[in-house]
Amino acid sequence: MTEINNNPLNSDNSCNSNDNLKILIPPQNEKQNIQETLNETKLEEEKETKSDKDLELKIIQKTDPQVNPYLNKVAWICAFCSFLLGYSTGVINGALPFMVDDLQLSPAIIGLVTSSLLIGSAFGSLFAGRLADIFGRKITLMGNTLLFMIGTLCYSLSPNAECLIGFRIMLGLTIGGFSSVVSVLLAEFSTPECRARMVTRSFLLIMVGEFGAFIANAVLGILWNEESSIWRWMCILSILPAIFELALIFWLMPESPRWLVSVGKNSEAKIILHKIRFKSEEADAELAEIEKIKKLEEGKVEGGFSIFIEMLGLSWFRRSLLIGIGIGLSLAAEGGGWLILSSMLAFLMLQQGAIMTVGSLLLTEIFPLRVRGLGVGISLWFAWMNNFLTSLLFPMAVDAFDLLLTKEIIKLANK
């Protein structure tokens, strides 16, 4: 006999349990929605993590940019010309006393001898900058180095003061050429992230060259103190690194890709850009940017020196030129360094480490591509002329007055 449970309580409990199951177990569609929401949240977190890592990588690259090994080698070869500049400007300090004894120089002639290199440098920076725009940076630098060797040999063998002054002017033309072409080349080879580091190498090697000249002067001056003609060996030593530099430029250094684009040699520029950049995409993008800049500049001015004349009519170019001239004058403000040794060292640290480095970097960036060499040359002309006047007048002023009064006059002139 089968019992039939007619208890209404049992029936109600069964209904309640089914209702509870319906509430606790979500429908299938709701399960899918929850899963999709979780997946989307996970993807967003992964994207945020990836973007944070990319941003961190970009910051690292900006603060510590990697340099292409080939570009690094080319930049050092180019900057080594500044070693020759530093040696030639520094060697006169130790060689001058022996020159005075050997050639019987008066104070006025001493001023001409020391300043003749600087007047040559003023016009050398002007001419070399323009030649670099016409014939190319590499050819100009090679010719400049060859002329440096000839000038050094000739003035080291000078029989009298007249020849000495003339050949030092000739040597100064090459010194000015180095000062303008090297900065332009380093800026055009480098990327914006590492441009400051590249241009700074030039000033580092100027200091190394001057230090090398001081060492050579000290060693030769001590060992052959009685030989008044020892100054000739002090000066002629710079031919050895010049020969080495000329060979490196000829065999290993390419032409500036920006100059190649400016004369229509885009295929050659592309090959060089692919060598000095890490990625092909980066090289192609830079080439496209250079071509775009060239198209913007085309048709505005004619070729030749008239480029500069016509661009003087543009207000933005006049501003850039005035800024460049002001920077050039500030680069030459060395007269205020006639203080006690500690103050002089502090002055040189600020001058070489900040003013000259940043100033030269600005000069390579404020002028358009077609007249960049000429614009930098004009700006540096004012720097070299300022140095020329100081070197010319200083020995005569010391002879006419005294060192302290001359120092005060120079301080007032620099204010």
Q: What would the pLDDT profile of 52-105 be if each residue is shown by its tens digit? A: 545 444 444 444 457 789 999 999 999 999 999 999 989 998 999 999 999 988
CB atoms under 10 Å from CB of 372, counted, come to 27
Is 118 within a domain?
Answer: yes
Residue 63: its pLDDT value, please?
44
State how far the Cα of 267 lies from the Cα of 257, in Å rounded to an integer.
10
Q: Would you say residue 222 has pLDDT above 80? A: yes
Q: In this structure, is residue 127 part of a structural domain?
A: yes
pLDDT(3) > 50: no
- Give domain status of residue 218, yes or no: yes
Directed axis angle between helix 137-156 and helix 161-189, to 10°? 160
Is residue 264 situated within a structural domain?
A: no
Residue 183 is assigned to a structural domain of this protein: yes
Inform me whether the pLDDT recorded for 203 exceeds 60. Answer: yes
User: Looking at the predicted structure, is the pLDDT value of residue 171 above 90?
Assistant: yes
In a domain, 259, yes or no: no
**Is pLDDT above 70 for 282?**
yes
**pLDDT band, very low/low/confident/very high, at 382 (cuts 50, 70, 90):** confident
329: how many CB neighbours lie within 10 A of its CB?
15
| pLDDT greater at residue 126 or residue 18 | 126
**Domain count within the chain:** 1
Other C-beta atoms lying within 10 Å of the C-beta of residue 359: 21
Quick one: average pLDDT of 292-312? 59
Evaluate whether residue 40 is within a structural domain: no
Tell me, what's the pLDDT at 335?
A: 43
- In-domain check, residue 200: yes
**Tokens 């620099």 belong to which residue?**
414
pLDDT at site 219:
94
If we measure between CA atoms, which residue out of 321, 410, 393, 372 comes closest to residue 110?
393
Q: Which domain holds residue 121?
A: 68-253+306-413
Q: Say whether pLDDT at 232 is over 90.
A: yes
The phi and psi torsions of 228 (rounded to 5 degrees) equal -70, -20
Query: Rounded to whole angstroms, how far apart are CA atoms 324 and 377?
Result: 10
State the CATH number of the domain containing residue 83: 1.20.1250.20
> What pLDDT band is residue 8 in, cutting at 50, 70 and 90?
very low
Task: Name the residue type at position 216.
Answer: A
Q: Band the pLDDT of 111: cuts 50, 70, 90.
A: confident
CA neighbor of 79 nearest in space, from 301, 293, 253:
253
CA distance 16 to 10: 10
**Measured in whole angstroms, how far is the alpha carbon of residue 95 from the centre of its chain?**
30
118 pLDDT tier (thresholds 50, 70, 90) = confident
Average pLDDT, the chain: 76
321: nearest Cα among 336, 304, 307, 337? 307
- Of 251-255, 262-266, 311-315, which gets the smallest average pLDDT? 311-315
Residue 55, H or E segment: helix 28-63
Contact criterion met (CB below 8 Å) for 263 and 135: no
Mean pLDDT of 155-170: 93
